[in-house]
Homo-oligomer: A and B are copies of this chain.
């Protein structure tokens, strides 16, 4: 069955003096309003969230949301896939429609993180990875440093080239009213920021973020009853790599991204050349070129050139992270994969304001852990 998206929304990303429940409600209500769909039409409600139990002591947030926004007795489920919970939500929501189990599925992804200290958050986020690695002091940020060192050794990439990723994404974020950071930076800002995990520095990394985003899915024939302007889900596919990161043969190659992309291109009949825009998972600057390579946009070992040569800027051949990406829009774990697709929705329907580009088809990629599990999707203008 052909699946459409007929509504999208997100809260301001940043630091909020509210709880996760309120963020989810705001995104959900705005999405239903944007689509002009009555709450009583919602049959399935999926909540992408990594760790509301750990962050707030609340595990029933999807049931709370169903009552708060008045969609009872709609079925609810929480979708968990670590920092890729949002991307997993895209697959779950798509499946619910494609399977004929629901004719109107609301997906809301979000996380509330900033009320905890960095140490407390690091403990929670490290629960994503294998305990043997965390117990040796290897966290996700330090994996990134080790992989970046290997990438700089094995390719012609310079340290500066990675800074260009952050510079571009900050420039994009400056035009996104929902972004956590709305200020431009330059290469020197990145290279003079404090070292986090050598060779990577503070401005290579995404921030800790509160925020939520939402999408409304239905069959294409029902979408047409509501609107002429909708987005079609061309395909969604996920794949998993080793949970023990240090057991991978090469830390600079994202196998799960490659596998997810291969499946996605196979299912949709599209290839990298058919994609106009992409939202990639720049949890750290390095990951953007690695994803360009694993999807086949760039040659292996050449992804770092794309930001340097401005091929991924808004007027380049493949604008990447027009939203500002995780770096500037922010990264509220379970919210990120949904927010990526929200940006594609807005871009494809010409609703992206100051950052609008011309695009018919977009790809998004949400990464869990250090590539431990990946979900990617292609959306295109509906017809």
Contacts and interface: CB of A to CB of B under 8 A. Distances in A.
A40 interface: no
A81 B81 contact: no
A81 B98 contact: no
A99 B57 CA distance: 34
Q: Is the interface of A mostly helix, strand, loop or mixed?
A: mixed
Interface in A363-383: 368-369, 372-373, 375
A80 B59 contact: yes
Contact of A237 (B51, B75, B237, B243): B75
Interface stretch (A89-97, A153-161, A167-175, A192-200): A89-97
B240 A66 contact: yes
A196 to B, nearest CB: 22
Most buried by B among A45, A100, A101, A372: A101
A58 B368 contact: no
Contacts of A91: 75, 77, 101
Interface string A227-243: 00000000011111111
Contacts of A58: 127, 131
Interface in A271-313: none
A375 B129 CA distance: 31
Contact of A88 (B59, B77, B259): B77
B101 A67 contact: no
A373 B59 contact: no
A180 interface: no
B80 A79 contact: yes
Most buried by B among A59, A128, A236: A59
B51 A255 contact: no
A64 interface: yes
A103 to B, nearest CB: 12
A113 interface: no
A36 interface: no
A94 B88 contact: no
A98 B99 CA distance: 5
Interface in A65-112: 66-68, 72-82, 88, 91-92, 94-96, 98-101
A242 B77 contact: no
A256 interface: yes
13 contacts: A57-B127, A59-B127, A60-B129, A64-B243, A66-B373, A72-B241, A73-B239, A73-B255, A75-B237, A75-B239, A77-B92, A78-B79, A78-B81
Given A63-B373, A73-B240, A77-B238, 7 more contacts: A57-B131, A59-B80, A60-B372, A66-B240, A75-B91, A98-B99, A99-B99
Nearest 4 Cβ contacts at the A-B interface: A75-B238, A78-B80, A98-B99, A99-B99
